[in-house]
Amino acid sequence: MFGSLKIAMVAILITGIAGAGMYVMKLRSDNAILKANQLKLESAITDQKQVIENQKKDFEEILDANKKVNALINALQNDLNDLDRRFNKKNRDIGKLAIQKPKPIERIINKGSANATRCIEIASGAELTENERNATKKSEINPECPSIANPSYVPY
């Protein structure tokens, strides 16, 4: 009677110890998994931070590109308006002027035409010359397209 009770007690004790051991082992295994998860999460956070940083940089670059395109559109429009102004400055009639002084007007027209031709070359990607790059005075610039031909020129 007591013998079988003892055996049962010992069996329960052994089972208890084994169970506790297994539980501890499970806890250790869970702990290892949690540590690995923590590392993965930290790495994911770093990656995400990098992605956000890159996106921020991209947005800034896009904004900057937009600003520059708008500035270029405005500058080109100013050149176009200026051409219109030169033709009609103070009710100027280029036809009448040409009748009165055909030779000087021919010279002016040909100079303007050469300048406009150079503007198209620049717009198509031609490199600026040293003189064009450094021009700051009205007498030095290409009046047909100063915004693209003379980057150092500030209208005055």
One of 35, 57, 68, 85 touching another protein (CB under 8 A):
68
The answer to whether 79 touches 144, Cβ cutoff 8 Å, is yes
Task: Decide: is 60 part of the binding site for another protein (CB under 8 A).
Answer: no
Residue 59 structure tokens: 């947005």
User: Residues binding another protein: what is the number (CB under 8 A)?
Assistant: 45
Residues 86-105 binding another protein (CB under 8 A) are 87, 93-95, 98-99, 102-103, 105
Q: How far is the CB of 11 from another protein (least distance, A)?
A: 36
Piece of 2-10, 30-38, 44-52, 59-67 that binds another protein (CB under 8 A)? 59-67
Please tell me the distance from the alpha carbon of residue 144 to that of residue 82, in angstroms, as a whole number.
Answer: 8
**Footprint of another protein on residues 127-156 (CB under 8 A)?**
127-128, 133, 144-145, 148, 151
- Our CB check for another protein shows the closer of 37 and 113 to be 113
CB-based contact 129:57 (threshold 8 Å)? no
Exposed, middle or buried by CB within 10 Å (0-12, 13-18, 19+), for 104? exposed
Which residues, including other chains, have CB under 8 Å from residue 146's CB and lie 6 or more apart? 79, 153, 155
Burial of 75 (0-12, 13-18, 19+ CB in 10 A): middle
Q: Is 110 in the site for another protein (CB under 8 A)?
A: yes
The site for another protein (CB under 8 A) is made up of 61-62, 65, 68-69, 72-73, 76-77, 79-80, 83-84, 87, 93-95, 98-99, 102-103, 105-106, 109-110, 112-114, 116-117, 119-128, 133, 144-145, 148, 151
